[in-house]
Structure 1
Amino acid sequence: MGRELDAWVDEYWGWAAVSLFLLLSVDLLMTLYAAADVGIAHESNPVMGWLLTQSLVVLVGLHLTAVVLVATLFYGLVELVREAPMRHRRPLRLGIEVFLGLLVAAGLFVFANNLTVIVHGSSLV
């Protein structure tokens, strides 16, 4: 079971990296481009709207802090699965799969929304 669990952990760390890349790197770059293209007033997220008025150091620093927090949370979830009795591992893994699926879906939605703002000048929301 140890090798199977290790393979699972490696696979889901990959999915976590994809979701963080979409949600933080791609979103940040596309948001900066959209704000430069159509202006900050079109930002639908009030927190991001505020961040766009701050220095680049604050903006990037908070995004990096978010990466650390999400990675730490995910690490804790993975360790919870490792330590759980065998009968509890499957439900915990399912919970992590849902968590990762929601993160990837949110990243894809934010990407699509930013692309819509850049191309059409209006948000999906």
Structure 2
Amino acid sequence: MAVCMGVLAARPALSWLPATTLVLYIFMSTVGFLTLPWAMIGELFPTRVRGIAGGVTTCCAYLFSFAVVKMYPEMKHALDRQGVFCFYGVMAVLGTVFVWFFLPETQGKTLEEVELFFAAPTVVVAATKA
């Protein structure tokens, strides 16, 4: 997603490249970030709170999507089209970094193991040589 936004921000000279890049961005977001809230419902929330947490997650996802769509005209006016593409490219990079470091891998793990991951305080301590 970040690469696609970077290409669009660079104002490609080829007439077919912006449309292709935009379609590729939509495809990548559909298999990437846009599915995360719904994947989290089934994989991260304990059964006792899954209903309420799923509702809150879905509500937040739709509210953020609405906000992004409504803010586009003002962002385009303030940042210009290339600035908006750069902004969303940077957000894609930051989102990827966040997912990489803070979202646990759940494949092959039970719900109890995932719950233990979130229950234990996570402190990263650098190893020092004595």
TM-score, structure 1 normalization: 0.53
User: CA RMSD of the aligned region, Å?
Assistant: 3.9
Amino acid at match of 1:71: S
Q: Where in structure 1 do 4 or more consecutive aligned residues deviate above 6 Å? A: none
Structure 1 residue 65: deviation in Å? 1.0
Tell me, yes or no, if the aligned pair for 1:15 and 1:100 is still in contact at 8 Å: no
**Aligned counterpart in structure 1 of residue 34 of structure 2, from 17, 20, 25:** 20
Distance 1:77 1:63 in 2: 21
- Extract unaligned runs of 5+ from structure 2: 1-10, 123-130
Find the aligned partners of 1:120 and 1:31 in 2 and give their Cα distance. 7
Confirm or deny: 8 A CA contact 2:43 2:106 kept in the other structure. Answer: yes
**Deviation for aligned residue 1:61:** 1.7
| Contact 1:27–1:107 under 8 Å retained in 2 | no
* 66-75 or 103-112: bigger deviation: 103-112
Counterpart-to-counterpart distance in 1, 2:43 and 2:117: 14
Identity %: 10
Partner Cα distance (1:119, 1:92) in 2: 36
Structure 2 Cα separation of the partners of residues 84 and 68 of structure 1: 24
Distance 1:11 1:84 in 2: 25
Where does residue 122 of structure 1 map in the other structure? 117
